[in-house]
Amino acid sequence: MPEQQRIVVCRTQVLDANDHSPEFLFPTAFDNTVHVSNLLPVGYVVTRLRVLDRDLEKNGHVTYEVRSRPRSERLRFKVDRERGHVTVAHALNDIDFRLFRLDVSATDHGAVPR
């Protein structure tokens, strides 16, 4: 008797779980300083925050938020929530040799954000 053979087509769809947290590529603990001129105009993009989230779709979509900073720094710079661009928000021409610290978080849009 000849061998009988059956072929079964199995369709598999793997859904992405929100199993990766966003990781900053810039700034890092060892590379976190941007030097700027006090002559930069308002709206100038000083730097772009870069984050990697290995999840797919909304699980990997990241938004940025300034967590805490003194009022003086809050007035001088702003962070674009979607693109991560840090821009000059207020004229810097009255400042000489000053350090500003911006604490920014990156959060994904999974069901349970990371």
Phi-psi region of 39 (alpha: psi -120 to 50; beta: other; left: phi over 0): alpha
pLDDT at residue 72, as a whole number = 65
Instruction: Output the average pLDDT for the chain.
Output: 83
pLDDT reported for residue 14: 61
Helix (H) or strand (E) holding 42: none
Question: Distance between CA atoms of 12 and 70, rounded to whole angstroms?
Answer: 51
C-alpha distances in angstroms, 48 versus 79, 94, 104?
Answer: 9, 24, 12
pLDDT above 70: residue 1: no
Name the CATH architecture for the domain at 23-108: Sandwich (2.60)
Q: Specify the pLDDT at position 67.
A: 79
Residue 84 has pLDDT above 90, yes or no: yes
**Cβ 58 vs Cβ 28: under 8 Å:** no
Q: Is 41 exposed, middle or buried (0-12, 13-18, 19+ CB in 10 A)?
A: exposed
Four-CA torsion 73, 74, 78, 82, nearest 10 degrees: 130
Q: What is the mean pLDDT of residues 87-111?
A: 85
**Residue 42's pLDDT is what?**
96
**pLDDT digits over 26-69, tens only?**
888 888 888 889 999 999 999 999 988 888 778 888 889 887 66
